[in-house]
Structure 1
């Protein structure tokens, strides 16, 4: 199944997406951005009080103490208070190795409230290599002389700081945690949890011997009943979640740490109940992106997606493998170049996935699987490889240019599917 890769030279790592295939052939047959107000110089007492409030709130999460957590929230009935009750319940669903809240200066507002820029520090045990640090703007109000939390997000601030809400901040979640898989479901998708979790665990077992790189063999999968989370991702390939079947995405550590905390993936809601080979192949594709992680950030998209496709079909008998019809039609017309980054997820997306897959098939079949992984390593070395520089690496590693590899991939597609 198809997906899309990312290049930090073009900005933040782009999500890796699996798009809906067209007709298949059987083998052999918001608001303006603003910054937080400047801290006022005369708020030491508020600083101390709010720092204490946040410390108690974080401690309550780790101690599973809902009354203490809700003591930090404005007690007056409001939608925000209900959301805070939901947030606490959601956080208890997660295997937290760390949860903390760090305030960075308090600003007194003219109306008597206060605001603080807060770093939310959170680490999923067994799934995040390091804690994830996310900025937020918290607002506090005095109630009966005590500071209480009145808001933990500001849409303008979030937009200015590129903050995407997580599922546990959006809706009521239910988490399943078994066999190296953390599944995040909601109240409408939880009925599909058993088969989704089983399919992801099976996918982990399938790809483990295929991918010769070190990785945790653990994964977080979002399996939600609507596309809001998917639609919120930055640089969503194709820009339309309805064109996707799944998407892998990076979770940066944040703050001053340039590392990745993890790579996770999510399934489109329509894929949740499809307990079939198509979904299993999709899951293996996304898991390959998770395993490879940042190793494919600095390579041409065709190689990142081609390897994920190549791994995804290893356990499918050759006569049962499928490819998009438009890939066959383009191959029949003769291929002269590998798919380019700029239009990979545009008009001929499904064809690009098929052509990329078979470019990798050619390398593995002709030179051995080790050479394919060596190509990925060489393309990603140093500052990475651009399209304009890929021929030099291809010549050095496999003795072919991009046009020669594309032409051979096309011939093999026609031979197997046309």
Structure 2
């Protein structure tokens, strides 16, 4: 078997750290002077604005943000940079590169808006009483990839100057934003996008040839998922394979086993993601490749991750054993599509090492303490179900659990409905299954 050991994360939602606050800032009129003079501005910075002033400030900043979004869609670099502080060459350069990258993604829709005021007194000290820091939502839809708009967050700081709002910081509150969400592939070096069918691969511009290879491998993985997972999927997926570890950053090593490495992760995107809490249905996923492993990426790894991409829009209540077991089932079936490869060594390990100690269907905690065992047993459960009920039976079982698995009683009822067995009876049958 080409793929002896790895951790594969599936339907993890984006998590946001930090607590929103209210910026204590002064206010100025169109002349740039705070009403009532410096003393009044200083007092305003300490006591805060009225609710009406905060609403007005947010409305004005949203206008600036809307102009920037329109500039991206229209290819207007000057319009995008119009609100950027011209006294900061490094900031201007970063924003120019951001514009160049954003244009490559082909957004069908794009909106920016201030979601939360942020208490950042150090920035008020640096830029003065009119300083306004906000967690800004970027709501976007990539044409041909996203069936609905999705969101990510970024942190911007503005100062009121000469009758308008000027962007003075674009990363000062990064540490309190979504760990997986806001550090997007367009935020660092210039990117290259390689398109192959409905697969889009994002790489560093200097690694365009690597992008072509990953696109070929990804296309093969999409075809394998569509062969072995009987639920309709159009095969549209964005694969992020950047060298920078900050891009959609995750924990790239985990577990206690020697060589235990996360090679890639399917990061789920939710409609109207807000403060790390999904406020809408799952829309899809991005596959993020471990930068340290991007040059040796193999098809079977991507098959596992793309199974998550194909299945997560159904719902997120599916138990972990079925989510990961299905992905392993599709992966192993894809390996054996090639007569030169076999997963018999994997079968032997599961039969001789894991099954004899199996007492329940794999729990989420088992994935944390013994992921080798958890993935192997989960795969074996799905192999049993496909053998006993047919591969097509996996779809209604997965769908029912994804949408209606709300209580332990509901879980048991759904399992029995589709398998004819309680979870305990299913465990006993799986232990006897020889494969």
TM bucket, shorter chain: 0.7 to 0.9
Q: Is the 8 A contact 1:363 1:369 kept in 2?
A: yes
Q: Calculate the TM-score normalised by the size of structure 2.
A: 0.76
Using the alignment, how far apart are the partners of 2:84 and 2:309 within structure 1? 37
Using the alignment, how far apart are the partners of 1:353 and 1:81 within structure 2? 47
Are 1:264 and 2:283 counterparts? no
Closer, same or farther: CA 375–45 of 1 in aligned 2, 3 Å = closer
Pairs within 5 Å for 1:9-408: 13=13, 33-37=19-23, 40=50, 41-42=52-53, 50-103=61-114, 111-115=128-132, 117=134, 118-142=136-160, 146-155=164-173, 158-159=176-177, 164-187=182-205, 189-229=207-247, 231-232=249-250, 243-254=261-272, 258-274=280-296, 279-295=298-314, 297-317=316-336, 320-321=342-343, 322-323=345-346, 327-331=350-354, 333-346=356-369, 348-384=370-406, 386=408, 390-408=411-429
Q: Is the 8 A contact 1:251 1:260 kept in 2?
A: yes
The corresponding residue for 2:8 is 3
Closer, same or farther: CA 59–355 of 1 in aligned 2, 3 Å = same
Using the alignment, how far apart are the partners of 2:365 and 2:282 within structure 1? 25
**245-254 or 316-325, which moves further after superposition?**
316-325
What is the Cα deviation at residue 180 of structure 1? 0.3
Closer, same or farther: CA 333–85 of 1 in aligned 2, 3 Å = same
Closer, same or farther: CA 73–339 of 1 in aligned 2, 3 Å = same
Q: Is the 8 A contact 1:33 1:156 kept in 2?
A: no
What is the Cα deviation at residue 127 of structure 1? 1.4
Closer, same or farther: CA 232–285 of 1 in aligned 2, 3 Å = closer
Closer, same or farther: CA 324–264 of 1 in aligned 2, 3 Å = farther
Closer, same or farther: CA 332–98 of 1 in aligned 2, 3 Å = closer
Where structure 2 has 5 or more consecutive residues not aligned to the other structure, the ranges are 24-47
Q: Is the 8 A contact 2:183 2:246 kept in 1?
A: no
Where structure 1 has 5 or more consecutive residues not aligned to the other structure, the ranges are 7-11, 16-29
Using the alignment, how far apart are the partners of 1:66 and 1:120 within structure 2? 18
Which structure has more relative contact order (CA 8 Å, sep 6+)? It is 1
What is the Cα deviation at residue 359 of structure 1? 1.1
Using the alignment, how far apart are the partners of 2:90 and 2:17 within structure 1? 22
How big is each residue's C-alpha offset from its partner over 1:102-140, in whole Å with a ceiling of 9 and x where there is no partner?
Answer: 346999968143326443222111212222234544322
What is the Cα deviation at residue 381 of structure 1? 3.8
Using the alignment, how far apart are the partners of 1:3 and 1:160 within structure 2? 20
Q: How many residues are aligned here?
A: 389
Q: Is the 8 A contact 1:50 1:147 kept in 2?
A: yes
Closer, same or farther: CA 308–237 of 1 in aligned 2, 3 Å = farther
Q: Is the 8 A contact 1:158 1:164 kept in 2?
A: no
Q: Calculate the TM-score normalised by the size of structure 1.
A: 0.79
Structure with greater Cα Rg: 2
The corresponding residue for 1:21 is none
What is the Cα deviation at residue 350 of structure 1? 1.5
